[in-house]
Amino acid sequence: MNTPTFDAIVVGAGAAGLFCAGVAQQRGLHVLLLDHSEKVAEKVRISGGGRANFTNVDVGPRNFLSENPHFCRGALSRYQPQQFIALLQRDGIGYHEKHKGQLFCDRSAEDLIDLLLRECEAGAAGGSVTRWQPCGVREIRSVADGQARYALDTDRGSVQGRSLVIATGGLSIPKIGASDFGYRAARQFGLRLVDTRPALVPLTFDAEQWKPFAELAGLSLPVEIATGARRDKASFSEDLLFTHRGLSGPAVLQISSYWKPQTPVALDLAPGADLHAALPQAKLASRRLLAKVLAERLPARLAAAWSQRQPAWERPVNEVPDKMLAALADSLHGWSLVPTGTEGYRKAEVTAGGVDTRDLSSQTMESKQPGLYFIGEVVDVTGWLGGYNFQWAWASAFSCAQALAAI
């Protein structure tokens, strides 16, 4: 019995893998798309509260982390947000813009998944996408028989491909099937890896250290957040969310990608307010409890909890010494605390690190191992919160598919 042979085999039926397979078949290639999970694009399905934050109107290299921050520039320039938006418009899929250029489907992420599947349907170019799911890969071998470079032993038998594309994502959210398959494939062929870590993830604190703030769980407020120093400093203006174990919300998810263990995170809990001026003014004009004065500029629960941190702050504002008012303003504008860790891959939206870009072409996503490509989250390119990781999936997949068709 002859071993089935395809122009390209794509391992991973997530955002990047589906899009790569679709673009490749539209250019006349016969593609096998396989995944060990039963469902396609589970991360798309659960993203954006079920509405998929599928891109951002403003995308550039500044929105990504990588050991080589310039690597993503080529793919992002070849496939831009407007091109993906055009696909939704063509299919009549409604979408809307939210905070800071983030684009979401109007109805459901399922509309986006259906679009990706339609892109994989055979068209006029004569290409095709064959999908095997669920189907695990047991072994990858390099071969040289003229028609193929790679042979895969899978749960559905052996198969060969002229090219092999690894689009398996990272380690985040293991309950939907995340695995280290892509990293193992890279190691097998001698590619370097950048250490992986959870990114876009809540930060946690020692239980005793966090005890005074645990009662604030569920409280959200706008903040300015920063970590690092000098050239390594990163900062964001976003919403913060208190949890029972630590801090979450967009501000913390953003900063978590930059945070390094045993280093502090700095928070301004009252951005835009000048508490150093406002509190002395209130002292001259009011006899209310300091917590009530703070509640004019902070959520009442936070104002009450914060004032309990010092006995002097629990008094009427007109009785609080000027030095203690200054200390209160300092503490709210410059709250510095050291997380003990993160919620890990189970809560992380993405995985930072991955296949070292030094071993990949920024033009084609082909590795130094001929015919072997890596796209999407498995690569050491990690986007900010806000649709950037999906745009990297579309852009890297498009660049790869273009290269496959040019062989």
- CA-CA-CA-CA torsion sign (184, 40, 167, 106): negative
DSSP strand pairing (350-355 vs 234-242): unpaired
- Residue 303: enclosing H or E segment and its boundaries? helix 300-307
Q: Is the pLDDT of residue 124 over 90?
A: no
Q: Band of the pLDDT at 1, cuts 50, 70, 90? A: low
* Domains of the chain and any CATH numbers: 5-198+351-406 (3.50.50.60), 202-343 (2.40.30.10)
Q: Is the pLDDT of residue 169 over 90?
A: no
State pLDDT tens for residues 340-351: 999 999 999 999
In the numeric block, which tokens belong to residue 253?
């998810």
Contact 72, 66 (CB under 8 A): yes
Q: Is the pLDDT of residue 260 over 80?
A: yes
Nearest residue to 353 via CA among 166, 175, 177, 183: 183
Q: Is the pLDDT of residue 60 over 70?
A: yes
Contact 29, 93 (CB under 8 A): no
Q: Band of the pLDDT at 187, cuts 50, 70, 90? A: very high
Backbone angles phi, psi at 315, to 5 degrees: -100, 170
State pLDDT tens for residues 337-390: 999 999 999 999 999 999 999 999 999 999 999 999 999 999 999 999 999 999
Contact 95, 8 (CB under 8 A): no
Radius of gyration, CA atoms only, the chain: 25
State pLDDT tens for residues 192-243: 999 999 999 999 999 999 999 999 999 999 999 999 988 889 999 999 999 9
- Angle at which helices 15-25 and 109-119 pack, to 10 degrees? 30
DSSP 111-157: HHHHHHHHHTS--TT--EEEEE-S--EEEEEE--SSS-SEEEEETTE
Nearest residue to 398 via CA among 133, 12, 74, 57: 74
Q: Is the pLDDT of residue 122 over 90?
A: no
271-281: average pLDDT: 95
